[in-house]
Amino acid sequence: MASNMMSDTAASGEQNVRNYYREVLDNNKLPSLPVVASKVLEMIQDPGISIQKLSRLLADDVGLSARVLTVSRSPQYAQRNLPTTLLGAVQVLGLRTLRSIVVMQATQSLCIKGNETSERLWRHSLAVALAMRVLCERAGVRDGEQGFLTGLMHDVGQMILVQGDPAAYAKLGREIQQAPCAIVDKEQASYGLDHTLMGFTLLNSWNLDSQIAQAALNHHSDLQMDGGNKLSAILTVADYLCSKCGLGFFTEPASPAAEALAMCQCADDGSMSQVIEEIQEAYQAESELFKPA
């Protein structure tokens, strides 16, 4: 069953997710957004933001500060003079990239180090994030960082399900490979909810843009071209192409709509192969930088 924001089924499904999510939080299985991350995200939304204040706030979280500095000094982002302070790092990265790093750092706490299923899902999420950057540029979407964040978070619902019981989710994945069916149907049957609803709820609770939450909600549904949310359509292409280049997660998503492929300028085999190559190159260049600590 495809998720649909407007249907009664989705509404009751969403309530299921909220209940489950509350239970997870109450049992301390899922860390909520760390205090510093939450404050940084709030501050970034303030039009009168002070970069100095923001940098001082970042310094309160040692792990996050280290990550911001490392990324700002990497070949992909660095300028001629490498930043040595958090203030300089924020200036190099810009607020949109900083937001991605803050969310990424917080999300990494959902990745279980050493667990194959969990690590594979992290690799998939990062690959889709990087693919979104590539595809947003091709589709003429100026805010590639919004795309990056959408890709990174699109399967966060699965991260929660995997974190809750990695062996059970791996079993579910193997069953789908043996008897192919839609992953959301299989999750509904096993958990009474699916990862798109779970992700939608989490992203709302983290106060990320509604466009990102909506794309996560619709990425396995027929609503991918709905509502003028280009990110939803591009996400289906990114998810599909990552699966094609060996960076998928258990199942190959359905083929994207022809309009979505055309929007990303990869409707024919030649341009699709070229995009796949670009995605692989981006992954090779950046995956090390964003490895879970």
Pick the binder of Fe ion from 155, 187, 278, 286 (CB under 5 A): 155
Pick the binder of Fe ion from 145, 239, 278, 286 (CB under 5 A): 239
Name the minimum Å distance from CB 274 to Fe ion. 22
Region near Fe ion per CB under 5 A, out of 84-92, 103-111, 151-159, 274-282: 151-159
Name the minimum Å distance from CB 40 to Fe ion. 26
* Residue 187 within binding range of Fe ion, rule CB under 5 A: no
Region near Fe ion per CB under 5 A, out of 27-35, 75-83, 235-243, 281-289: 235-243
Site map (CB under 5 A) of Fe ion, residues 43-82, x = contact? ----------------------------------------
DSSP string covering the chain? ----TTSHHHHHHHHHHHHHHHHHHHTTSS----HHHHHHHHHHT-TT--HHHHHHHHTT-HHHHHHHHHHHTSTTT--SS---SHHHHHHHHHHHHHHHHHHHHHHGGGS-TT-HHHHHHHHHHHHHHHHHHHHHHHTT-S-HHHHHHHHHHTTHHHHHHHHH-HHHHHHHHHHHHHS---HHHHHHHHHSS-HHHHHHHHHHHTT--HHHHHHHHHTTSGGGGGGG-HHHHHHHHHHHHHHHTT--BSBPPPPPPHHHHHHTT--SHHHHHHHHHHHHHHHHHHTTTT---
Region near Fe ion per CB under 5 A, out of 55-63, 85-93, 236-244, 272-280: 236-244
Region near Fe ion per CB under 5 A, out of 32-40, 46-54, 150-158, 162-170: 150-158
Please say which residue, 14 or 239, places its beta carbon nearer to Fe ion: 239
Kindly list the residues in this chain that would bind Fe ion in the complex (CB under 5 A): 155, 239
